[in-house]
Amino acid sequence: MRIGVVAPARRVDEEQMARTQGYAALTYPTLDLVVHPQCFLDVGHFAGTDEQRAAAFLEFANDPGFDAIWFARGGYGSNRILDTVMPQLNRAAAAKSYLGFSDMGFLLGALYARRIGRPVHGPMAAQVGKAGGTNSAARALAWLVNRDRTMLAPELDGRPTVAFNLVILCALIGTPWLPDLTDHVVIVEEVGEDLYRIDRLLWQLSEATQLKGIAGIRLGAVTDRHPDDTGFGETEEQIAAKWARAMGVPYLGRAHVGHYADNMVVPFGVA
């Protein structure tokens, strides 16, 4: 099996990817994990210019020699290449899995909207060596290489499901890249946002006509909140349940999804 690693948003360093390749070689000796040199480019905030990031993604996605694309990391930037890359994906791109989360939700959502490949929300390549990150990345590899169903979020119930960072999902509303999520369970997670921002984002979801037909909402992890964020008056779960009711859909509870070590795998659609 051959998996390509690209970085459509922020860069990673060579030491990070060396750890990931070393771990993959020890765990899956027949796996060829190829890291695109673009991952190491440094152009301000980004892993290369928009043009360089788009070109690297297209090179690997359109190459029939790769079985899957594993995104290196998140950050910000994958939305800036959507208009360039989506019209240029070929038949080989449609045969691949694409795995990542956070900012990569822009690409996962756009791929799912166009029914290209198999988008999967899950841990990314640069997490190897971080606190709890090696176990997270191991789950991603176990799914990509062996389709190991024990890596799936245990809350998946057989219904079509997607998982998004909440900010990313809100940003997709009103764009051509938001997939039709009718009858889907929607899992949302967030990092570094105070409760009033979580409330505002979930209000936006509740008002979005494009999401009126969803089957329900699950809340993933809400991590790295400000330590003084205690005076809002509602918990994160109360907020999620309130806006689910406003949408007229059930709040289905928590999910093992998010910016933390227990982040599990969620294939878009039916696992």
Amino acid letter, residue 225 = R
Pairing of strands 118-121, 68-71: unpaired
* 3-class secondary structure, 187: strand
Q: What is the distance between the alpha carbons of residues 3 and 269, in angstroms, rounded to a whole number?
A: 22
Q: What is the distance between the alpha carbons of residues 241 and 27, in angstroms, rounded to a whole number?
A: 41
Q: What is the distance between the alpha carbons of residues 137 and 218, in angstroms, rounded to a whole number?
A: 23
Q: Would residue 78 show up in a list of annotated catalytic residues for this protein?
A: no
Catalytic residue among 78, 97, 102, 206: 102
Backbone angles phi, psi at 137, to 5 degrees: -65, -35
Catalytic residue among 155, 189, 190, 193: 189
**Location of structure tokens 């959502």:** 109
Q: What is the distance between the alpha carbons of residues 53 and 153, in angstroms, rounded to a whole number?
A: 30
Cα four-point dihedral sign 216, 221, 226, 231: positive
Q: Would residue 207 show up in a list of annotated catalytic residues for this protein?
A: no
What does the CA dihedral 144, 146, 147, 148 come to, rounded to 10 degrees? -120
Q: Would residue 237 show up in a list of annotated catalytic residues for this protein?
A: no
Structure tokens belonging to residue 92: 């080989």
* Catalytic residue ranges: 102, 189, 259
